[in-house]
Structure 1
Amino acid sequence: MNTKYIDLINQTFDFPQEEFKLQEYKLRFHDIDLTALIETYQAPLKFTYLPQISNNIKRAKKWFADAIVENNYKGEYHYCYCTKSSHFKHVLDEALKNDIHIETSSAFDINIVESLKKEGKIANETYVLSNGFKRAQYITNIARLINNGHKKCIPIIDNYEELDLLSKEIDGQFNVGIRIASEEEPKFEFYTSRLGIGYKNIVPFYNKQIKENKKVNLKMLHFFINTGIRDNAYYWNELTKCLKVYTSLKKICPTLDSLNIGGGFPIKNSLAFEFDYAYMVDEIVNQIKIACEEAEVDVPNIFTEFGSFTVGESGGAIYEVLYQKQQNDREKWNMINSSFITTLPDTWAINKRFIMLPINRWNDSYERVLLGGLTCDSDDYYNSEQHMNAIYLPKYAKEKPLYIGFFNIGAYQESIGGFGGLQHCLIPSPKHILINKDQDGKITTKLFSEQQTSNDFLKLLGYEDENMPAKKQKSKIKNIINSL
């Protein structure tokens, strides 16, 4: 009888896959020995496999390069990384190895850009596309970057006031883009995105505030929809409307030469995931070319802002199943040694699915379970795996430790969960490991951050002085007295 966990996977999916394979019934991810990782660092832990960031950038650049050749497209392609997906330095350092550009979304992003410029990771030739709703500090930081010589910083206008605010602080001429407020899918609670300027208002806005403004050049039109790039009628309809705005603007604005189609490439969220990236890229390039030819205008340079696609598939988390609770005749709860709310907030906030697989015991019998986190919150659970909203794992046995991994979690989870900050029910953030390859292709690991301690939480909560060891407390008092 086929009753082992490995039988279930083989019957349900094509397995092994490019990034997943077994060795002695233990899971390997990109040939990383996850069992050895657990033995070295203990669970719970998170990890970032840095080479996958470069792999995905190279894949996307090749798809666009091939599509440009196939369609005899006369414009250029520029890959931008959407920094809000993960601001960590190790992520930016890896991404910037690949001749890419940057998209920012808030004031402090500019400080990160300036820090990377000092290190030589970003140059004046690097495009910095500044998106988002811009208030005083963001405006000031953008202006400082441009005034210091970074002319390829292009603020993307989000509302009617921003152009005047930028003009007051930027010396000399500067380039801008305009974001289209796309219309959302019918299932949304609202009709139009809060970001950007409506389709019908963009040409009038250009005529009123930019056309005769000798200080400002319109270089880019920005288009993005919340549901991302999908092969469905809604996406193609919105892209068509965007292209109509672009061609109308191009006829009256000779400086306009770039179209930013945003981000939105999906990432693998189950072993059954299928998405024809090359086809989508080819069709997008083809549709842009057709629209421009029909309107008799030059095709634009194409920009993308891939965030989740860049970094998402590099991340993983490993937990240990601590205990099993039989709550009724049908429901078994496997309790993990961490929390979904704190470490994978997208699983409960937006019901996002990630690939979930056991690390060990693939040759054991399996059972249907629910996964519960450690907090006392009723929402701290995960049950949306690929098996029709059910989760199957090797049978729980107290004497046989079971480890489970969540994969492709590298985008947003750390920032939304509040890395290094307070966590729900004071559940500590797990340790984080950076995984790389050396020049010989050998896997290397490095501890990026330790698991949070009680002292970390006490300091954040204002208890530091009350819980400071007596010797340290006396030393602090002495320093205060000496400074008087």
Structure 2
Amino acid sequence: MKTKYIDLIEQTFDFPQKEFKLDDNNKLQFHGIDLTNLIAEYGTPLKFTYLPKISENINNAKNWFADAIEKNNYNGKYHYCYCTKSSHFKHVLNEALKNDIHIETSSAFDIDIVENLKAQGKITDDTFVISNGFKRDQYVKNIGKLINNGHKNCIPIIDNYEEINLLSQEIKGNYNIGIRIASEEEPKFEFYTSRLGIGYKNIVPFYNRDIKDNPKVTLKMLHFFINTGIRDTAYYWNELSKCLKVYVNLKKVCPSLDSLNIGGGFPIKNSLAFDYDYAYMIDEIILQIKQTCDEAGVAVPNIFTEFGSYTVGESGGAIYEVLYQKLQNDREKWNMINSSFITTMPDTWAINKRFVMLPINGWQKEYERVLLGGLTCDSDDYYNSEQHMNAIYLPKYSKEKPLYIGFFNTGAYQETIGGFGGLQHCLIPQPKHILIDRDEAGEIVTRVFAPQQTSENLLSILGYDYGINNALALKEEEKIGCNETIKST
């Protein structure tokens, strides 16, 4: 009878897989990284970023688009942009920019990052900076400053009717813009149309009214994105079709329009059963664009994408130790980890997002059905592997042998949503974060990016260090006053 954890995995999934396999001691490896050694050196809880995966995913996408463009005889260029809000960290941007890509921004401080990268020579004036988001005050000023200083490839994407006037007040010369389409959401959404962008039927009238005769502004790009991402569904293809109709109608009255931005939305692996044909989707998108433009008699656009989660998501991971097992009734076993899901992987409770979860050790043990709980006193601090399941399977817990578990492909959004370097729920400290890379010989190299948060870090944010210092200063003042009184006496 096959009752070991390894038996369960091999019977349920195609295993081993490209990034997941067991070593000779039946310990889990991730992209050839010895996770057991990682635990021995750095302890747990532990966050890590495997930098080479970022470049790998970027180049995979660029190759898929190149193949589709060649296959379909598509007379347009492809530009890969990184959506910085997925992870603003310097080590992520440095790795991504090794691959001749461009940047998408979403807020005022994003432009400060762009300026910093330019000062370091990581990007140049030739790098496209696609500025999305609702723009007011500082964001508009920063975009204006960037363009005024010579970055003509900064393209603000117009989100509402007022932004052209606001930008024109800050930008000294002529500048290029794009327009974002307010796509219609899936029926399950609480709202019908995205709050971002301008409605399908209003874009051509908007161009004719506010842009066509404006000598300062040139429309270059139409921007399209839907929340559900790029998926092989009737909903996606229907929305893309409506977008392309807008593009050809706009192109007929706006000769300067030469680019279509299809946004982001490539999914990332969230289980060992993940199955998504990236090459097929890209080929079909290119084909649909070409056919629509050819039928309308207009030139095909250059294609831009803004991949965020796809770029950085699969580079990240987290490792925890199961501290204790609580039997709450006759069937519910709670494996308590030495950290918090709410603080370290907020998407698990905020949007019920799934990640790949596997034990690091214990693969030869019998398995059991368990629930995973975090350290906070919040009832939502747990992990649920399936939307309609309340339990997951792990090797049997024993007090004598520590059980370590890993969550993989957590590299997008979790640090920024969780408030990296800030307060954490119930003051659970933020884990140590390490960076993993490979040297020229292909050997693994690691370094600490950030140590685990300390009590002093959190108390300082809460103002307690100020209170302590202020109290000490008052005592010192009282002491000086007392001495002066003695002297005068």
Structure-1 residue corresponding to 2:301: 300
Instruction: Give deviations 1:233-277, integer Å, cap 9, x for gaps.
Output: 000000000000000000000100000000000000000000000
Give the residue type in structure 2 aligned to 1:375: T
Structure-2 residue corresponding to 1:228: 229
Scaled by the length of structure 1, what TM-score is found? 0.97
Asked if residue 9 in structure 1 is aligned to residue 17 in structure 2, the reply is no
Question: Structure 1 CA distance, aligned partners of 2:317 and 2:457?
Answer: 24
What does 1:80-479 align with in structure 2 at a 5 Å threshold?
80-385=81-386, 389-467=390-468
Contact 1:429 1:451 in 2 (8 A): yes
Instruction: Give deviations 1:274-331, integer Å, cap 9, x for gaps.
Output: 0000000000000000000011000000000000000000000000000000001110
Question: Structure 2 CA distance, aligned partners of 1:473 and 1:231?
Answer: 67
Question: Structure 1 CA distance, aligned partners of 2:141 and 2:273?
Answer: 47
Give the residue type in structure 1 aligned to 2:220: K
Question: Structure 2 CA distance, aligned partners of 1:283 and 1:386?
Answer: 30
Structure-2 residue corresponding to 1:18: 18
Structure-1 residue corresponding to 2:30: 29
Q: What is the SS of the residue equivalent to 1:40?
A: helix
Contact 1:351 1:384 in 2 (8 A): no
Question: Structure 2 CA distance, aligned partners of 1:178 and 1:320?
Answer: 48
Contact 1:355 1:385 in 2 (8 A): no
Give the residue type in structure 1 aligned to 2:299: D
Question: Structure 2 CA distance, aligned partners of 1:476 and 1:396?
Answer: 58
CA separation of 1:19 and 1:189: change in aligned 2, threshold 3 A: same
Q: What is the SS of the residue equivalent to 1:228?
A: coil
Give the residue type in structure 2 aligned to 1:22: L
Structure-1 residue corresponding to 2:75: 74
Give the residue type in structure 2 aligned to 1:13: F
Contact 2:352 2:387 in 1 (8 A): no
Q: Quick one: percent identity of the two aligned structures?
A: 78
Which is higher, the Rg of structure 1 or of structure 2?
Answer: 2
Q: What is the SS of the residue equivalent to 1:200?
A: helix
RMSD: 1.8
Contact 1:173 1:216 in 2 (8 A): yes
Question: Structure 2 CA distance, aligned partners of 1:476 and 1:79?
Answer: 61
Question: Structure 2 CA distance, aligned partners of 1:473 and 1:90?
Answer: 44
CA separation of 1:469 and 1:363: change in aligned 2, threshold 3 A: farther
Question: Structure 2 CA distance, aligned partners of 1:476 and 1:272?
Answer: 67
Q: What is the SS of the residue equivalent to 1:323?
A: strand
Instruction: Give deviations 1:444-477, integer Å, cap 9, x for gaps.
Output: 0000000000000100000013445999999999
Question: Structure 1 CA distance, aligned partners of 2:433 and 2:38?
Answer: 11
Contact 1:219 1:256 in 2 (8 A): yes
Q: What is the SS of the residue equivalent to 1:275?
A: coil
CA separation of 1:472 and 1:308: change in aligned 2, threshold 3 A: farther
Contact 1:356 1:385 in 2 (8 A): no
CA separation of 1:340 and 1:124: change in aligned 2, threshold 3 A: same
CA separation of 1:421 and 1:461: change in aligned 2, threshold 3 A: same
Contact 1:324 1:335 in 2 (8 A): yes
Question: Structure 2 CA distance, aligned partners of 1:163 and 1:475?
Answer: 58
Q: What is the SS of the residue equivalent to 1:280?
A: helix
Structure-2 residue corresponding to 1:480: none
Question: Structure 2 CA distance, aligned partners of 1:40 and 1:388?
Answer: 35
Unaligned runs of 5+ in 1: 478-484
Contact 1:354 1:385 in 2 (8 A): no
Instruction: Give deviations 1:326-368, integer Å, cap 9, x for gaps.
Output: 0011100000000000000000000000000000111111100
Question: Structure 1 CA distance, aligned partners of 2:441 and 2:477?
Answer: 50
Give the residue type in structure 2 aligned to 1:14: D
Question: Structure 2 CA distance, aligned partners of 1:139 and 1:411?
Answer: 26
Question: Structure 2 CA distance, aligned partners of 1:413 and 1:38?
Answer: 21
Q: What is the SS of the residue equivalent to 1:181?
A: coil
Question: Structure 2 CA distance, aligned partners of 1:473 and 1:304?
Answer: 58
Aligned residues: 478
Contact 1:80 1:103 in 2 (8 A): yes
Contact 2:72 2:286 in 1 (8 A): yes
Question: Structure 2 CA distance, aligned partners of 1:255 and 1:64?
Answer: 24
Structure-1 residue corresponding to 2:483: none
Which deviates more, 98-107 or 377-386? 377-386
Contact 2:371 2:390 in 1 (8 A): no
Scaled by the length of structure 2, what TM-score is found? 0.96
Question: Structure 2 CA distance, aligned partners of 1:472 and 1:125?
Answer: 54
Question: Structure 2 CA distance, aligned partners of 1:75 and 1:475?
Answer: 73
Give the residue type in structure 1 aligned to 2:228: T
Question: Structure 1 CA distance, aligned partners of 2:246 and 2:164?
Answer: 20
* Superposition deviation, residue 383 in structure 1: 1.5
Question: Structure 1 CA distance, aligned partners of 2:463 and 2:191?
Answer: 41
Q: What is the SS of the residue equivalent to 2:275?
A: coil
Q: What is the SS of the residue equivalent to 2:370?
A: strand
Unaligned runs of 5+ in 2: 479-489
Instruction: Give deviations 1:398-429, integer Å, cap 9, x for gaps.
Output: 01100000000000000000000000000000
Give the residue type in structure 2 aligned to 1:165: L
Question: Structure 1 CA distance, aligned partners of 2:358 and 2:49?
Answer: 17
Contact 1:270 1:386 in 2 (8 A): no
